[in-house]
Structure 1
């Protein structure tokens, strides 16, 4: 059984090319710190959990061979909202809302087998991604947005890919228990989100 279809590989390849283009244009010694800050920024617990959860949910809930739709939707909404955040957009209670987005993704994992409408699922992914994007954009370093965005998009893509890979592994090796495994992971994700919320 193939882990990824040709169409899925094509979608992931296009995402990788889109991410590599800005990296290829970056000049050595110019904006390096911005890229480094961008690469590191998504490793906060709330961002990391959300991005891995999107990959997991995409494998479990989206149509066969369309697992890349979730990460692509997240990244598109992320970059648009990050640009708005860099331009000065601020939202009240943003950190609390980001923590609640982790709870949301956990619930989506728990209920992934119920097959909510694809448009609704992707809409929720885009909404949550927008919160994360505004937070990323608000912390744009003085080195500028372009290098910083390249960094956080690269890390985001990697975390999404990790979530997709884990999801595919669960589907292949734990097929008869995959619903329960996803429900367990979703419960842990939501619990972590509630904990993060309680610490704010």
Structure 2
């Protein structure tokens, strides 16, 4: 798939998501005031698991510097978005972009899109910023936001590692299985958008 087709595909996914319902894991998250709550939260939401594993799978497909750069970009910009969310800085279309990230990353894996590492990091970082902002806004003013974000960042990194591990385990020989996993991730994202999941 050419780069221009990939960009158009990602754009269509984002446009579909602008008309979607909110990601359920971002509503009524319960406790958001401890390291343990932050550590558990990404493991309890389907949208989180899909995106975090997708980043790892796509990084494994790309290989090289992407294996560490893309997850690092996600975690770093997720934390930046979280800090702005805690500070109460408003950001529009957070939940639609979160859902679009699931579909977009799934499609990028399915098509085995080979973007330059820097461009992939920017795209992943953009999605991560919105994920982080959503979580920053969930933290009560009286809560220990730093503890929650630390746990959240660690769980995020672990899910990235799981995706990388699965992608590397599949290797070149079973690359199609990784691409099929990408298709499943995109399908889950579309299911979340239309309310079927």
| Deviation at residue 36 of structure 1 after TM alignment | 1.8
Residue number among 173, 177, 186 corresponding to 2:174 in the alignment: 177
| Deviation at residue 67 of structure 1 after TM alignment | 0.7
Taking the aligned partners of 1:87 and 1:151, their CA distance within structure 2 comes to 19
Which residue in 2 is equivalent to 1:126? 125
Taking the aligned partners of 1:84 and 1:65, their CA distance within structure 2 comes to 28
CA-to-partner distance for each residue in 1:23-71, whole Å, 9 max, x for gaps? xxxxxxxxx9511221122121111110011011111114x36411111
Say if 2:116 is the partner of 1:95.
no
Structure with max Cα Rg: 1
| Deviation at residue 95 of structure 1 after TM alignment | 1.8
TM-score normalised by structure 1 residue count: 0.76
Taking the aligned partners of 2:178 and 2:168, their CA distance within structure 1 comes to 11
| Deviation at residue 89 of structure 1 after TM alignment | 2.3
Q: Is the 8 A contact 2:35 2:147 kept in 1?
A: yes
TM-score normalised by structure 2 residue count: 0.77
Which residue in 1 is equivalent to 2:115? 116
CA-based RMSD of the aligned residues comes to: 1.8
Say if 2:189 is the partner of 1:189.
no
Say if 2:135 is the partner of 1:140.
no
Count of aligned positions:
163
Q: Can you give the 5+ residue segments of structure 2 that lack an aligned partner in the other structure?
A: 1-31
Q: How does 1:1-200 map to 2 (within 5 A)?
A: 34-43=34-43, 44-62=45-63, 64=64, 66-112=66-112, 114-141=113-140, 142-171=142-171, 175-178=172-175, 180-199=176-195
Q: Can you give the 5+ residue segments of structure 1 that lack an aligned partner in the other structure?
A: 1-31
